[in-house]
Amino acid sequence: MNAFPDGDAITKAGLRSCLGRFATGVAVVTFDGPARRYGLTVNAFTSVSLNPPLVQVAIAKHARSHDALRNNAFCVNVLGAEQQALARHFAGGDSEQPHWIDGHRAPRLPGTLAYLECEPWREYEGGDHTLFLGEVVDFDYRAGDALGYVNSRFTTIAEQDLGIEYLI
C-alpha cells in the first residue's frame, strides 16, 4: 500500500470516492462469447486514436465475462439518459432481458445514443483491469441526452445545441 508524505495511506474506498468526482458517460460492452451473448456496463471507455480508429474499454479482471471478451469482436453501446435500466441490468441488476440487434461483427443494443462495433486490436494489463483496445469498423449515433455517472449516481448529461463536430 502506498502512502502520502504525511503518512496517510491510500485506501481503495478513499481513492474510489475521489475518482468518483470525475463525471463519465455510461456504456454497455456487448459481444458473443463461446456459449452465449454477454453485456457489461462500463464507465471506463475512451477514444484512443482516429487513425487507426481505436477505442479502449477497461474491464475488471474479476468480471465474469472478462475472459470471454478476449479475442472477440465487441460493440460499445453509449447509453442515452433514458436507458438507466439497461445500465443497471448489465451491471448485475435484475430487470427484464434486453432486446439484441445482430451487428456485422458483434451484437448491439437498440436505441442507444451511439454504438461502435470493434474488432479486437490489442490488450494490455492494467492492474486489476485489462485494457481492451478495439478498432472501430462500424458506428452510428443519434441526437439526445447522455446517461452519465458521478458521485456513485446516474445523472443526465444534456446535449448542447452545437457539438464539437460543428467546431471542426
Contact 20, 152 (CB under 8 A): yes
Question: HSE on the CB side for 80, CA within 13 Å?
Answer: 13
The pLDDT, as a whole number, for residue 1 is 46
The pTM score is 0.86
Contact 31, 68 (CB under 8 A): yes
Flag whether pLDDT at 138 surpasses 70.
Answer: yes
pLDDT tens digits along 10-44: 788 888 888 888 888 999 999 998 888 999 999 89
Q: What cell was used for 141?
A: 449515433
Residue 5, preceding bond cis, omega within 30 degrees?
A: no
Q: How far apart are CA 30 and CA 117, in angstroms?
A: 9
The pLDDT, as a whole number, for residue 11 is 85
